[in-house]
Amino acid sequence: MAKFERYHPIMTPHFTMDWLTQFKVKDINLLRRQTVPNETIIETAKYVNRQMSTVMHDQSLTWGVAEKQTDVFRGIVQLTPSSRASSSAQLTIVPMTKPDDELVNEIQTYMAGFAKNTFGSSQTELIIK
């Protein structure tokens, strides 16, 4: 399997996915505060560092998502391949606004193919947070 750090940016018809380090921490913090209301900018920066560490250790892929046309931050996507005993992957999408069917549908469709072609995953479990 190739090194995870190679998989960026990823472009779908309407969105660009890139490492969280390519996005403003304040935008990520606004999203994170939807589930962790008192999270500080410092805690969000630590979250970004932890997520990037999982990428560098080939454990999981985490991207920020922006609209191609406007470059507006739309959410976070994480793809985690399963252990070798299973041929599934877990796709977590955290949209900035809920519901965001356009984002979820396009990313889910693209990532199912990506997981199959990259990791040999026959199934992709979708989690929307």
Torsion region of 41: left, alpha or beta (phi above 0 gives left; psi -120 to 50 gives alpha): alpha
pLDDT of amino acid 2: 60
pLDDT of amino acid 3: 84
Q: How far apart are CA 66 and CA 33, in angstroms?
A: 18
- pLDDT tens-digit series, residues 14-34: 999 999 999 999 999 999 999
pLDDT of amino acid 82: 79
Residue 113 burial (CB count, 10 A):
11
pLDDT of amino acid 5: 85
The CATH number of domain 4-128, selected from 3.20.20.80, 3.40.630.30, 3.90.1150.10, 3.90.1150.50: 3.40.630.30
Q: Which of 4-8, 35-39, 42-46, 57-61 has the lowest mean pLDDT?
A: 4-8
Q: Does the pLDDT at position 1 exceed 90?
A: no
Whole-prediction pTM: 0.93
- pLDDT tens-digit series, residues 62-97: 999 999 999 999 999 999 997 665 688 999 999 999
Which alpha helices (DSSP H) does the chain contain, by range?
25-32, 41-56, 101-119
- pLDDT tens-digit series, residues 110-127: 999 999 998 889 899 999
